[in-house]
Structures are given as structure tokens and as C-alpha cells.
Amino acid sequence: MAKSKEKNQKSAQENSYTAKDIYVLEGLEPVRKRPGMYIGSTGVDGLHHLIYETLDNCIDEAMIGYAKNIALTFLPENRVRVVDDGRGIPVDIHKQTKKSALETVMTTLHAGGKFGGDAYKVSGGLHGVGISVVNALSKWLKAEVCRDGAQYAQEYVRGAPQYPVKKIGKCQGSGTAVTFEPDPEIFKEIAFDWNRVLDHIRQQAYLTKGIRVSIIDERDSETTKDGSLLKTSYSFYFEGGIISYVKYLNRNETPKHDTIFYVGKEIDVGENRKIFVETALQYTDDIQAKEMSFANNIYTAEGGMHLTGFRTALTRALNDHAKKNEYFKKEDETLTGDDVREGLTAVISVKIQNSALQFEGQTKAKLGNPEARTAVETVVGESLKDWLEQHPRDSQEIIGKALLAQKARKAAKAARETVLRKGALEGMMLPGKLADCQSKDPSESELFLVEGDSAGGSAKSGRDRRFQAILPLRGKILNVERARLDKMLASKEVKSLIIALGAAIGDEFNEAKLRYHRIVIMTDADVDGAHIRTLLLTLFYRYFPTIVERGYLYIATPPLYRIQSGKNVRYTYSDEEKDKAITEFKKIKMEARKQKAAKTEKKEGQETEEEPAEETTGESASQKDPELKGIEIQRYKGLGEMNPPQLWETTMDPQTRLFKQVTFKDATEADRIFDILMGDEVLPRKKFIQTHAKAVKNLDI
């Protein structure tokens, strides 16, 4: 009886989704003038935002139970097609605009079914600008709708309809298909990233369990012998939802307990509104935490109220359980938030009635709803308390890990107090190996982290003392991926670096005290140099993330070769550049010989005598190319082989040097890569190397 009533209500809601459910707030014209206001940027991020906005409409249909299948297809000529089997956008005449509801939705900013009525109680499209913005920023777009057995369509060029919505045939079922081509006038580079979109789609499938989301690539498809099209495709379907997501996030980790905590519950937050809270968590032997928070399926990279509520509930529940079961040795002992989050993998998802959803900015990076904090704190707090009681072995592992983290935190605090004394932080006790610069202005000061004392000596002699400081590092520093802070601070090289930077470390990092705003990793161009560079990158990513986020971290690019022909000198940074330079020098020498021959009265065909060849590539005389006579090729195996003027000219002079700025746009992916490359598990690292080995053009062993 209950099921029949629910079915009738759903059917009535489906039939009531008509033009009257579309609310219009303003026009579309501002979008093309200021696209960055609506999609963040006109770069790669903004380009992919078009896909996500289109996909969000399909996910919204799935979240309220109408769509079960969604497919995204990359087509040739930079076109993307997104299809769902939801109700289909209404096509009847809109009362306010006197146009088809489909045209209204596609061509009017802030027009959609998410501002009032019951068409969408929960959705990710807060501002209603999604599909209309996609249309405005597309060179061409076609919308197709299947409703009530009829198929309708309308095409647009840069947001302008090319004809009224028209019926183009019959169809079965219902749904919407949107095909668009981004406008090259807006996006200077149009190159969709398959892996980026694949990850996003996988994530959405985890968050909306029971739906099937497919992604197909037809851009470089091949035709088989039988005439069928060979396509790259993936299809995601997760019955376990966010429990499956936690398992996926921990695929390269060793879990501390087998049972994954899960709760999914709707809670009344007053004013006739409810919030659905869904959370899953598991601890691993890692020392880093992975917390993924979502609001209406939108990833909130900067967290927000729901994440705050989760952290509060987690800390309180574990402390209460530890006290109740006498895990603490002292009565006033307690676990901090950092203690309970070490090794944690958690997915926190809330679904809020659309009209009440509050984000900070159009990019939706942080949830602002205060009631979400209360809802998550209540639901997770009560459920986790019961779960810990019902799973004594799992709770013992979790509390044990938190207590170990507490012990390490206290040891790290003691180590910090020893290492980072007040005098050191104020620059009065800088490490002896540091050759500091004269400038006290961080915005112009540079710190070069140089591999080895030999290269450090050259750098010290070749630098501009006014603004360039040199800190030589001896050997490979500690791998901090699996090392807690107390062990890390025992490393002499790491300790020297922390003191030189002057801004403390970890949670105590103070950007205002950072002594250099350009920190440059300068290592040899060989395997050992690459390893040292990776160890330093791991250190900065894990313990100085602000330095990376602010764009203060750089990698120097010293040349691989010095090529000289007569008075002409060229530095090259790859084998390809070296070969090109040699070819150019050969042409110059050939032209010089011709000119010299033309000025002499020697017999026809007689060659002029050439200067002796000098080549320092390490090859034997019999292996040398005769055409290289007079061309000197020096291969730099290390920075120490360069004299100070050469190191300055090629690697340190702001006018000629080549720096790579270190950034991480996708923190989750960066975290995964660091974990694979620098963690304890060998198998994932081996698989990663095998997968990407072909992409390595030059491997110096």
C-alpha cells in the first residue's frame, strides 16, 4: 500500500513538471562579456566546467530518482554530448517568456526548475546558470528532448536560437541530450582531458549509488573490419555508493580495520526543512588524512560547515569511547583533532533542499550552511558512538592509532621547541652552511637548495649576493612520506632547511615569517638528482603546502650540454636541442668554408684545412663523427662541473635562467601520486612505473 502511494506521488510530480516550474530572473548577455564570473576562468578549468555544468543537470535528475543512465561522449571537432534518461526538459510555452520552456532554460540566465516549486528539492545547480552559460560560451549547441513519445530539438549559435523548438520525430521513454562545441573565441585552447573527466564521472557515480554513468571517446576511433566503430569507453555503477568510494580511495593502503563505518540518515533542521547526511570512514596505516566532502554531489574542496561538523563529531566520539574504556593513562588526557584524523579516509556527503543551499562563490568550493554542521555532527556523533560499541576490535585499532599519533604529536612538539627556538626563527641562529643574501625583503629574496658541497661552492661564488641565498644539502634527505614530525626534525638537513626558511613547520607554519618568496630546488640532471628533487617536493607538499599554494616553490633547470664552435657557445637542455644546435653549427661551418674557398685561388674541389676537433662527450676517437670536427660538446653530469660564471649564466641569472614553478591543481591526485611514489607499498609503485615508462623520453642511468 505504501509503495503504491509513493508511486502515485512520484507519477503526479513527474506529470506536474511543466513550464510553470521554470523561474526567470534575468537575461543571458553578461556571460560572453565576463565568462570568468560564471565558470571561474577561460583556461583549462573553465573549459571542463562546461562539461560539469551539463552533467550536473543529469545528476540532479538521478538524485531525485528519475534518471538511471547517463552517458557522456567526446566527439570529433571538439564536441561533447551528454545524455540522460530523466524526465526531459519541458517544451511547452512558458507563461512569462512566451517561448518554449526549453528555449527559456537554454537562453536565459537564472532560469530553471531549481528556484521554486517541487520540480527539484535537491540539486547541485544552485544559481541556475549552468546550461545557459554552456550555451552562451559554445560556438554551437543542440538540445534534444524526448517527452510523451515525441522528440524535440533546437540549435543555437553562441547562445542565439537558430529556429524555434520543433518536433523532429517520435521516441520512446524520456530524457535530454545536449551536444555542444566550446567557442574558440572564448577558449584559446580547447583540449579536453580524458582522465580528468573520467575521475569526475567516477566520483559522481560513487555519490549517487544505483545509477550507471558512462564515458565514451570517439575522437580517435577506428573502424574495424566488420565496419563497427572501435571506441574507448568506461561505465561506472556502484551499488555500495560512498562505501565503495572509501574502498577505492584506500586501494593502495593497508586498512587498520576491515569494517567500514557508514551512516545515511535524514534529519529535520527546522523551518520545515530536512538534510540527508551520508558518511563513510575507514582508517589505514598512513599518517596522512583524506577527507572528501560534498554538498548535493558538488565537491567542496575547501570543506565548510559539513566538514566542521564531521570533525567535531569524530573527535568527541573517539574521546568519549577512549575515556569510557579507560584507554587514557591520565584523567585529563585527551585526543586532538589531528590525533584522530591521522590515517583517516572519510567521505562526507550532505543533500540539502536546493532553495536553502549556500556556497561561498559560484565555484562552490566551501559550504556555508550552519545547519549542515549541526546535522552532520548529530548524525555522525550518534551513529559512530553506537558503531564503536558494536565493533570492539575495530574501535581498539582506531583508538590505538590515535594514541600513537598523540604520542608522536607530543614528541614533535618537544622537538620543535628544541629546533625552532625563538632566536632561530628570528634569523639570529641560521645554519652555518647557509650563505644568506643581503636583502631582508622576502618578496625579492631567493633561496637555492643545492645538491652537494661542490655545487654549493660554485653557486655561492656565482650568485648575486644581494638577493640570492645558497643552502647546500649533503646527500638524500629523509623521505618524509611515512615519517612523523619528530623523526623528521631529527634529520640534520631537514632541520637546517626549516631554520633557513624561518617560518616554522606544519600547523605552526607562519607565512609572514617566511624569509624567501622564491625557493629553488637545484639538483643534478641524473637519477640521484631526480631522487633528491622528489624527496624535497614530498617535504614541501606534506609540511609546507602554503609555500606550494602561493607559488613560492621552483625547480631550476640546468643545461645538459655546452656546445661551442669557435666563439659561438650554446647551452642546451635536451638531446633534441643539442642535435638542433649541432646541425646549426655545422651549417655555419659549411658556409664559412664556402666563403673561405671562394676567396682563395685553390684548385676546384680542394677542401680547406680544418681546425682540430675537440669533443668531451666521453666517446673514443673511433666513435666520433668526423663532421663534429671543430665543435666542442660538453655533457654536464652534475652542477659541480660548472664553474661559477657558467652556473650563473645558465641557471641563476634572472635574465637567462629557466625555472619551473611547482603547483598542484588537483590536491587529491597529487596526494595519491606522492603516496604511490614515496610510500611503503612496492606493488602500486611498480605498476605506476610500468604504466608510465613509455612516456619517459630520456632516462639517464
pLDDT value of residue 26: 54
pLDDT value of residue 360: 78
Residue 676 to residues 481, 483, 484, 683, 686, Cα–Cα distance (Å): 10, 15, 18, 9, 9
Name the residue among 381, 350, 380 with its Cα closest to residue 368: 350
User: Which one is the CATH code of 14-236: 2.40.37.10, 3.30.390.10, 3.40.50.1400, 3.30.565.10?
Assistant: 3.30.565.10
Q: What one-letter code names the amino acid at 625?
A: D
Name the residue among 489, 488, 452, 444 with its Cα closest to residue 469: 444
User: Which one is the CATH code of 421-558+659-663: 3.40.50.2300, 3.40.50.880, 3.40.50.670, 3.30.70.20?
Assistant: 3.40.50.670
Q: Which residue has the higher pLDDT, 123 or 89?
A: 89
pLDDT value of residue 488: 81
pLDDT value of residue 29: 76
User: What residue segments make up the domains of the chain, in order of their start?
Assistant: 14-236, 242-416, 421-558+659-663, 666-694
Residue 364 to residues 247, 295, 360, 388, Cα–Cα distance (Å): 26, 9, 6, 34
Query: Residue 9 — pLDDT band, cuts 50, 70, 90?
Result: low
Give the integer Cα–Cα distance in Å for 348 and 281. 9
Return the C-alpha torsion angle 206, 209, 211, 216, nearest 10.
Answer: 10
Give the integer Cα–Cα distance in Å for 513 and 132. 46
Q: What one-letter code names the amino acid at 378?
A: T
pLDDT tens sequence across 350-386: 999 766 788 876 556 889 999 999 999 999 999 999 9
Residue length of the chain: 701
For 337-350, what is the mean pLDDT? 96
Phi–psi pair at 295, nearest 5 degrees = -130, 115
pLDDT tens sequence across 640-671: 888 999 999 999 999 999 999 988 766 556 66
| 164: pLDDT strictly greater than 80 | yes
Check: CB of residue 284 under 8 Å from CB of residue 251.
no
pLDDT value of residue 675: 67
User: Which one is the CATH code of 242-416: 1.10.1740.10, 3.30.565.10, 3.90.180.10, 3.30.230.10?
Assistant: 3.30.230.10
Catalytic center residues: 451, 524, 526, 528
pLDDT tens sequence across 121-144: 555 443 335 799 999 999 999 999
Give the integer Cα–Cα distance in Å for 399 and 404. 9
Check: CB of residue 471 under 8 Å from CB of residue 498.
no
Give the integer Cα–Cα distance in Å for 491 and 484. 12
pLDDT tens sequence across 401-442: 999 999 988 888 777 776 655 444 444 467 878 999 999 999
pLDDT above 70 covers a percentage of the chain that reads 81
Q: What one-letter code names the amino acid at 417?
A: E
pLDDT value of residue 602: 52
For 264-282, what is the mean pLDDT? 92
Mean pLDDT of the chain: 84
pLDDT value of residue 1: 52
The H or E element containing residue 81 is strand 79-84
For 521-540, what is the mean pLDDT? 87
